[in-house]
Structure 1
């Protein structure tokens, strides 16, 4: 069996770095079970020349399989192990843009970019066929998008990304950032702001940006979309059509630094109540066969409670290994986990 060695990307987040290898190992196992033709075995941490690697074995990995693995969230370099030597394998990532699209914007409460990519990856692996993962088109929705980390990662892959955010400051900051970034990169684009109304009532403000990675793509009409709406997430069904999205991916409020949702009645800091109200709305926006991935704080909502919410919304929860081993500490007030559920076809 051919052995491979993966060098883990260094992380600016030291706490996340301590668990990055375990998280990456389970990400590989998800890809193996749901997206790869070849079965991957013996995924484990190993020291090679005194350097920590993640190793695994397979005799059936195709070129397409290796292109999929190139997008692993913590992958820095990939090698084939040949006796005592490491043979570099070309890494062909999906990324269409410079990585500062996901890394340059800094703010309090921003989700670690590697974890955001992991959450998007494992959700996509459950919902999309391998060729669709590599070639699109794919529509991603983040119903609590903040300042757009998930949206930007989807855009890196060449996918269309849509978000809802209740905080007007975050909505405005993200819209300004995207347009400034596109201008700085000299990428041709158009941006339109408008009001979203339903039955004569205002739902929220919308900013929609259409752009392309190259002039050739733009001339060919191969445009990507980034769209964000300033509205309460429970009103997402008034903004977008049922079955509009392949993936719903979000980092739910932790109930620590800021309120979970703001409405006309009260300001609540109870994330579980928000999820109970919002998940059925999000589920209706998923296409059949699509998947929802949520990360959240275990100190505010238990895994069985969130699984029950998802099942009550008609979704099938991925409740076996390796999906049960992504729990990790963020800080003393946040113990984060992720859950993935699929909408039946």
Structure 2
């Protein structure tokens, strides 16, 4: 067995930084049980030189296994840890396909922490039938409550096709303006179009569509990524995408009244995401391929895990309930305690 330690990525968010070692442990355990054969053991936080590391035991990691570790949202640098405490650097290949400012440059109130977004996308991908798609770009991702596109940007960074649905026109316009300018500044070969989607002479919604290549040569060969954002209610997502189109659904559910869903009983906004999910999950499930996975983060102050798990089970999902997948709860601020639930769509 080899002893490893990885330096945790610094976070500008003090509260998230406090939770980072525990979240990193859960993410590593999820990776171990899904793609590393359960061979990672003795995972623990340790402070060395006054900074936090996550230490673990595993057989010598093969190149493909190191590529999975490269996806860890909190990994800053990986080392072999000697018996004498000496740290020997281990080269870990980057999975990023584009410059990092695609993720970091956007700043706005209510933005989901980009490290947590990466974590949520990772653990959802690990739960699907083809987790290797996280490494080779073979997955299609949908965020049906995409806001200003943090999840979509992370999907692009991994080289994945991405799509989003967002009800607020201002958020879609802000994301469109950002991405158009970023693509231009980055000098990436791309095509971006905006059009109204119509059916039977009725306007269904506005669609922003982008094709982009990692290089000019790749784009000319037809090797490009596709990104689509639709300005519409998430319950209408089935009007814009074909059934069984996506491998992953990854989303951050509403946290409070300002983003609340319609209450079926009272006919007015609710702090809980449950009414929205009751309406939307049947639609989302129809867009997900068998063997695909869904990951939802939410505020535990306004909904219980059991409620979300029951809704997912009712739509033909198998909810992950292992130690790793139960270890992601953490505080965001006084009003928000965030957790995530991941489930796999069972083959029928």
| TM-score computed with the length of structure 2 as normaliser | 0.95
Q: How does 1:51-200 map to 2 (within 5 A)?
A: 51-83=51-83, 84-200=85-201
Report the Cα distance in structure 1 between the residues aligned to 2:166 and 2:6, rounded to whole angstroms: 36
SS class of match (1:125): helix
SS class of match (2:323): coil
Distance 1:170 1:51, change over 3 A: same
Q: Is the 8 A contact 2:15 2:332 kept in 1?
A: yes
TM-superposed deviation, 1:177: 0.7
Instruction: Report the counterpart of residue 284 of structure 2 in structure 1.
Output: 282
Distance 1:38 1:217, change over 3 A: farther
SS class of match (1:323): helix
Runs of 4+ in 1 over 6 A off after TM superposition: none
Report the Cα distance in structure 1 between the residues aligned to 2:70 and 2:262, rounded to whole angstroms: 37
Report the Cα distance in structure 1 between the residues aligned to 2:129 and 2:94, rounded to whole angstroms: 17
Q: Is the 8 A contact 1:37 1:60 kept in 2?
A: no
Q: Deviations over 1:174-228 (max 9, x none)?
A: 0111111000000010011112234443221000000011112112211001110
Instruction: Report the counterpart of residue 244 of structure 2 in structure 1.
Output: 243
Report the Cα distance in structure 1 between the residues aligned to 2:262 and 2:198, rounded to whole angstroms: 21
Q: How does 1:266-305 map to 2 (within 5 A)?
A: 268-270=269-271, 271-305=273-307
Q: Is the 8 A contact 1:79 1:86 kept in 2?
A: yes
Q: List alignment gaps of at least 5 residues for structure 2.
A: none
TM-superposed deviation, 1:256: 4.4
RMSD (Å) for aligned C-alpha atoms: 1.8
TM-superposed deviation, 1:24: 0.5
TM-superposed deviation, 1:61: 2.4
TM-superposed deviation, 1:279: 1.2
Report the Cα distance in structure 1 between the residues aligned to 2:227 and 2:276, rounded to whole angstroms: 25
Instruction: Report the counterpart of residue 336 of structure 2 in structure 1.
Output: 334
| TM-score computed with the length of structure 1 as normaliser | 0.96
Instruction: Report the counterpart of residue 25 of structure 1 in structure 2.
Output: 25
Q: Is the 8 A contact 1:243 1:286 kept in 2?
A: yes
SS class of match (1:56): strand
SS class of match (1:247): strand
Instruction: Report the counterpart of residue 310 of structure 2 in structure 1.
Output: 308
Q: Is the 8 A contact 1:37 1:62 kept in 2?
A: no
Distance 1:335 1:161, change over 3 A: same
Distance 1:130 1:343, change over 3 A: closer
Report the Cα distance in structure 2 between the residues aligned to 1:246 and 1:189, rounded to whole angstroms: 24
SS class of match (2:209): strand
Q: Deviations over 1:86-120 (max 9, x none)?
A: 11111212101111101111111000000000000
SS class of match (2:164): strand
* Worse-matched range after superposition: 306-315 or 42-51: 42-51
Q: Deviations over 1:217-260 (max 9, x none)?
A: 11221100111000000011111111000000000010144334
TM-superposed deviation, 1:156: 0.2
Report the Cα distance in structure 1 between the residues aligned to 2:177 and 2:9, rounded to whole angstroms: 30
Q: Is the 8 A contact 1:38 1:58 kept in 2?
A: no
Q: Is the 8 A contact 1:280 1:313 kept in 2?
A: yes
Report the Cα distance in structure 2 between the residues aligned to 1:2 and 1:129, rounded to whole angstroms: 28
SS class of match (1:279): helix
